[in-house]
Amino acid sequence: MATVRHRPEALELLEAQSKFTKKELQILYRGFKNPWPLSLRECPSGVVNEDTFKEIYSQFFPQGDSTTYAHFLFNAFDTDHNGAVSFEDFIKGLSILLRGTVQEKLNWAFNLYDINKDGYITKEEMLDIMKAIYDMMGKCTYPVLKEDAPRQHVETFFQKMDKNKDGVVTIDEFIESCQKDENIMRSMQLFENVI
Amino acid sequence: MAAGVATWLPFARAAAVGWLPLAQQRLPPAPGVKASRGDEVLVVNVSGRRFETWKNTLDRYPDTLLGSSEKEFFYDADSGEYFFDRDPDMFRHVLNFYRTGRLHCPRQECIQAFDEELAFYGLVPELVGDCCLEEYRDRKKENAERLAEDEEAEQAGDGPSLPAGSSLRQQLWRAFENPHTSTAALVFYYVTGFFIAVSVIANVVETIPCRGPARRPPREQPCGERFPLAFFCMDTACVLIFTGEYLLRLFAAPSRCRFLRSVMSLIDVVAILPYYIGLLVPKNEDVSGAFVTLRVFRVFRIFKFSRHSQGLRILGYTLKSCASELGFLLFSLTMAIIIFATVMFYAEKGTNKTNFTSIPAAFWYTIVTMTTLGYGDMVPSTIAGKIFGSICSLSGVLVIALPVPVIVSNFSRIYHQNQRADKRRAQQKVRLARIRLAKSGTTNAFLQYKQNGGLEDSSSGGEQALCVRNRSAFEQQHHHLLHCLEKTTCHEFTDELTFSEALGAVSLGGRTSRSTSVSSQPVGPGSLLSSCCPRRAKRRAIRLANSTASVSHGSMQELDTLAGLQRSPAPQSRSSLNAKPHDSLDLNCDSRDFVAAIISIPTPPANTPDESQPSSPGGGGSGASSTLRNSSLGTPCLLPETVKISSL
């Protein structure tokens, strides 16, 4: 497989497009360019593919199986759907997640949940996402994980979010419901100071 | 955990934003981050050679010297650099490990020196990358063997000492297996060797024709018949010695069945059996023929030498391991023989007085010709026969000469392959163990952190903050991440032990009515909390009622269960929550005393109000459960006071 050398856009351009400073971009790029000590073999430099995503996540959540969630995340980051996340995609995503407004963050989350990107979150999509998240917990949880825990959670979610009870959640319903929930609003600030 | 992943932590934390809208509980606050997170270049001066690297690079592996605060011990404030009085050439490899994540082994350095450097910098040898791992291990093994040989040579006199109380049997077995351990064993070893030789030589000599005593027709006789008594005595002596040895070995063997099945013991049996059969068999004409044949088996005594010779054993093993190649050689030879024998037979069929009387008779000719022996007892006379005969001998050279080097190389290849397969299996095991260890390390770190009360609000006392503060920033953030996941899913990470307990308890129909136990964590304005698991709890309650606990104290449980279902909720611990009627059966997600509650089942149901166990600050979890378990096993009928005390 030919190594695709992907050079990112200039530092100034990225700085203008994202909300990171030059120093932060430098730190991020250094980590990105040398993504994984272990599985560098198949990864063309300059882009990150799905397997690397999965491996990274499995290191963070060793108890469970994080491959499904990593898959959804990858699709959320890979905005042009070309199978690889370039540094620009990466920065774009991170910029929203870490430095974006609440609106942007909620938009991103909605995009993550909407697997087929059709503008609606159906119960099945939500169930997939929920299962992926619960998979990350692994087997040894307390209390013991029940088979229908994800489904329960999805029901709760839809009860809260689906205002007109039509079985799908649109972006407006989503944003509106989240903005009403003070817990969620408060948690949105949690991950700001990450770099 | 391999914290080369530290560079990706921001990404993982950012992606956790995806959980936020789904979280049903409030997520914990983020850990405080140090003010300056800018990256800086560190200078490491190793014996005069300066290496410069980013601080983040070194921080990737916080459990090594360079990645942890241990390097501050080597910090030279005057020059602003870290000074190490070590080998700069080796340091290059160590630093490259931080940069690339792979530790390479230098080819031209002594492996011992490399090991010492690794030990100094806090790197475990298992970190050596796959490309260099095999060579590293080989060299280490060579070294170790060389050292071991030297040690053995030093302690030539003393053998491995058995524990004092070893039985005669064990001592005997050790004497048999390691003749060098004691003088008596050595003597026995040489005596048996001598007698084996004597027996073999006697077998050989008794067939030599000796000139008989002067008889009218001077007739040559084999010595065996001339001196039958002498040979018989010698034979008897040898067989007696062998029998004695065999019986002693049988007595001393730790596992008699295995000994009986082993090759050496079979050889022993085959060596001595003909003699006894000969004794038993009456001396009549019919059977003596068979009896004579049996004496052939006496030659197997020579195989007893393989106990005395390491080389024979190795040869035997290699032959065994190359059996398939040998088999193939034989098979191809057989094919060729049959083909040529057939051809020669039909070619020579017409000749008078030909030796090629049948195809099997032609086999002999083919074999002799193909192996280029050419005895000349059978020769073709027709022209066609001679042509095919020459083709046969030419092809014989090819057919025989080609597989032999293949077999020889197969010997060495198979031998080394076996070695390598064993090595690879061992490496795989080590690698898997390493991965498992890393995973469990991470989980354990988090669970440990939880147990130490790290998840409490920081407002509730600063004493316990000390024990949780000595985590790196990376660990703090990682734990915060895991905590967020717990809160999102309303479940907690546990270890295997607690999980299996909980699993077992749930299958017993563990009660949830004890959920009035106070949550060990401060409960915020969690109106969402009660809605968290109502349905789950209801289902469990139903299962309770129908449960047929198969464990010994199941019946008592059922009684309690049924009684508990009608109990009114005791809301004192959940005052801050909306006490819905079915909340009494709620399983409080925050309750660490769930397992504790389950095991306290045998309490008589009348003591409900006392059941609210005081909160155990973070020490709940596995700690409480284990103490409770002990108490519950000890006293099948627990008093509430016992329950309360042991839950602390």
Interchain CB distance below 8 Å, B18 and A76? yes
The alpha carbon of residue A139 is apart from the nearest alpha carbon of chain B, in Å, by: 8
Report H helices in B155-262: 168-177, 183-205, 223-226, 228-252, 256-261
Query: What CATH number matches the domain at A102-194, 3.50.30.10, 1.10.238.10, 3.40.50.740, 3.40.30.10?
Result: 1.10.238.10
Q: What's the pLDDT score for residue B345?
A: 93
Cis before A143 (ω within 30): yes
- At B568 the three-state DSSP class reads coil
Which mean pLDDT values do the consecutive 10-residue runs of chain B (648 residues) have?
A: 60 78 76 61 91 86 83 84 89 89 87 88 84 85 70 49 68 80 86 90 85 62 78 89 90 87 86 82 66 75 80 73 78 90 91 86 92 91 92 88 72 64 74 82 76 54 47 76 82 74 62 40 38 45 42 40 40 41 40 37 40 37 38 40 37
Distance CA B104, CA B125 (A): 10
Instruction: For residue B369, count other CB atoms closer than 10 A to its CB.
Output: 25
The alpha carbon of residue B615 is apart from the nearest alpha carbon of chain A, in Å, by: 18
Interchain CB distance below 8 Å, A137 and B587? no
Contact B122, B63 (CB under 8 A): yes
The alpha carbon of residue A43 is apart from the nearest alpha carbon of chain B, in Å, by: 14
Query: What ranges do the domains of chain B cover?
Result: 41-156, 178-308, 317-431
CB contacts, 8 Å: B27 with chain A: 183, 187, 190
Give contacts of B 483-502 with A, CB under 8 A. Answer: 484-486, 488-496, 498-499, 502
Digit-coded pLDDT (tens) for B276-288: 887 877 666 666 6
Q: B493: which strand partners?
A: A141
> With helix as H, strand as E and coil as C, how does B524-552 read?
CCCHHHHHHCHHHHHHHHHHHHHCCCCCC
How many angstroms separate the Cα of B643 from the Cα of each of B624, B635, B646? 11, 11, 5
Q: What's the pLDDT score for residue B286?
A: 66
Q: What's the pLDDT score for residue B447?
A: 78
Q: How many residues does this entry show for chain B?
A: 648
Digit-coded pLDDT (tens) for A104-116: 888 888 888 888 8
- Most B CBs within 10 Å, among A53, A114, A183, A185, to test the B interface: A183
Mean pLDDT, rounded, of chain A: 80
- Looking at this protein, which amino acid is placed at residue A150? P
Tokens representing residue B262 in the block:
């082993």
Name the residue facing B20 among A35, A148, A187 (closest C-beta): A187
Q: C-alpha angle B264/B268/B274, rounded to 5°? A: 150
Measure CA B636 to chain center.
Answer: 42
Nearest-Cα residue of chain A relative to residue B10: A194
Cβ contacts from A onto B, under 8 A: 187
What are the respective helix, strand and coil percentages of chain A, to the nearest 5? Answer: 60, 5, 35
Statement: residue A60 has pLDDT above 70? yes
- Looking at this protein, which amino acid is placed at residue B599? I
> What is the DSSP track for B287-353?
HHHHHHHHHHGGGGGGGGGGGT-HHHHHHHHHHHHTHHHHHHHHHHHHHHHHHHHHHHHHHSTTSTT
Q: Flag whether residue B531 sits within 8 Å of chain A, measured between CB atoms.
A: yes
Contact B418, B352 (CB under 8 A): no
CB contacts, 8 Å: A106 with chain B: 21
Torsion of CA A55, A60, A64, A70, to 10 degrees: -50
Distance CA A176, CA B515 (A): 35
Instruction: For residue B478, count other CB atoms closer than 10 A to its CB.
Output: 27
Indicate the pairing of strand B81-84 with strand B41-46: parallel
Label residue B509 left, alpha or beta by phi (over 0 means left) and psi (-120 to 50 means alpha): left
| Helices first, then strands: H and E counts in chain A | 10, 5
Name the residue facing A140 among B29, B478, B496 (closest C-beta): B496
Interchain CB distance below 8 Å, A130 and B536? no
Q: What's the pLDDT score for residue B383?
A: 93
Q: Flag whether residue A190 sits within 8 Å of chain B, measured between CB atoms.
A: yes
- Most A CBs within 10 Å, among B11, B440, B484, B496, to test the A interface: B11
CB contacts, 8 Å: A153 with chain B: 22, 24, 489-490
Q: Flag whether residue B356 sits within 8 Å of chain A, measured between CB atoms.
A: no
> What is the DSSP track for B22-88?
G-SSPPPPPPP--S-----EEEEEETTEEEEEEHHHHHT-TTSTTTSGGGGGGEETTTTEEEE-S-H
Q: What's the pLDDT score for residue A121?
A: 87
Q: What's the pLDDT score for residue B131?
A: 84
Q: What's the pLDDT score for residue B9?
A: 75
CATH number of A10-34+45-100: 1.10.238.10
Q: Flag whether residue B191 sits within 8 Å of chain A, measured between CB atoms.
A: no
- At B253 the three-state DSSP class reads coil
Name the residue facing B491 among A108, A137, A157 (closest C-beta): A137
Q: What's the pLDDT score for residue B325?
A: 74
CB contacts, 8 Å: B543 with chain A: none
CB contacts, 8 Å: B496 with chain A: 140
- Looking at this protein, which amino acid is placed at residue B529? L
Q: Flag whether residue A57 sits within 8 Å of chain B, measured between CB atoms.
A: yes
Give contacts of A 82-111 with B, CB under 8 A. Answer: 90, 93-94, 97-98, 105-106, 108-109
- Most B CBs within 10 Å, among A142, A155, A172, to test the B interface: A142
How many angstroms separate the Cα of A55 from the Cα of each of A114, B1, B387? 23, 13, 70
Nearest-Cα residue of chain A relative to residue B531: A156
Burial of B187 (0-12, 13-18, 19+ CB in 10 A): exposed
CATH 1.20.1440.230 applies to domain B317-431: no
Residue A140 confidence class, pLDDT cut points 50, 70, 90: confident
Q: Flag whether residue A138 sits within 8 Å of chain B, measured between CB atoms.
A: yes
Q: Flag whether residue B64 sits within 8 Å of chain A, measured between CB atoms.
A: no
Give contacts of A 9-38 with B, CB under 8 A. Answer: 23, 26-28, 30-31, 34-38
Name the residue facing B12 among A28, A60, A141 (closest C-beta): A60
Burial of B118 (0-12, 13-18, 19+ CB in 10 A): buried
User: Positive or negative, the Cα torsion across B335, B336, B342, B343?
Assistant: positive
Q: What's the pLDDT score for residue B390?
A: 94
Distance CA A25, CA B406 (A): 61
Nearest-Cα residue of chain B relative to residue A28: B7
Q: Is the pTM of this model over 0.80?
A: no
Distance CA A62, CA B248 (A): 57
Name the residue facing B17 among A105, A152, A195 (closest C-beta): A105
Interchain CB distance below 8 Å, B499 and A140? yes
- At B226 the three-state DSSP class reads helix
Give contacts of B 431-450 with A, CB under 8 A. Answer: 438-440, 442-443
Cα separation of the two ends of chain A = 34
Contact B526, B25 (CB under 8 A): yes
Backbone φ and ψ for B128, nearest 5 degrees, come out as -60, 135
Nearest-Cα residue of chain B relative to residue A27: B39
Distance CA B631, CA B225 (A): 87
The alpha carbon of residue B474 is apart from the nearest alpha carbon of chain A, in Å, by: 11
Q: Flag whether residue B482 sits within 8 Å of chain A, measured between CB atoms.
A: yes
User: Positive or negative, the Cα torsion across A171, A172, A174, A175?
Assistant: positive
CATH 1.20.120.350 applies to domain B178-308: yes
Name the residue facing B493 among A63, A148, A191 (closest C-beta): A63
Q: What's the pLDDT score for residue B470?
A: 57
Residue A195 confidence class, pLDDT cut points 50, 70, 90: low
Residue A142 confidence class, pLDDT cut points 50, 70, 90: confident
CB contacts, 8 Å: B491 with chain A: 134, 137, 141-143, 145, 149
Burial of A22 (0-12, 13-18, 19+ CB in 10 A): exposed
- The architecture of the domain spanning B41-156 is 2-Layer Sandwich (3.30)
- At B453 the three-state DSSP class reads coil
Distance CA B440, CA B313 (A): 45
Residues of chain A with CATH 1.10.238.10: 10-34+45-100, 102-194
Q: B41: which strand partners?
A: B54
Contact A132, A150 (CB under 8 A): no
**Whole-number CA gyration radius for chain B:** 41
Q: Which residues contact B632 (CB under 8 A, 6 or more apart)?
A: B599, B600, B601, B602, B638
Name the residue facing A56 among B8, B494, B506 (closest C-beta): B8
Least reliable range by pLDDT among A55-64, A113-122, B293-302:
B293-302
Contacts 24+ apart (CB under 8 A), B536-540: B536/A146, B536/A148, B536/A149, B536/A152, B536/B587, B537/B512, B537/B582, B537/B585, B537/B586, B537/B587, B538/B582, B538/B585, B539/A146, B540/B506, B540/B510, B540/B512, B540/B585, B540/B587
More confident residue, A39 or A69: A69
Name the residue facing B22 among A26, A38, A157 (closest C-beta): A157
Interchain CB distance below 8 Å, B18 and A73? yes
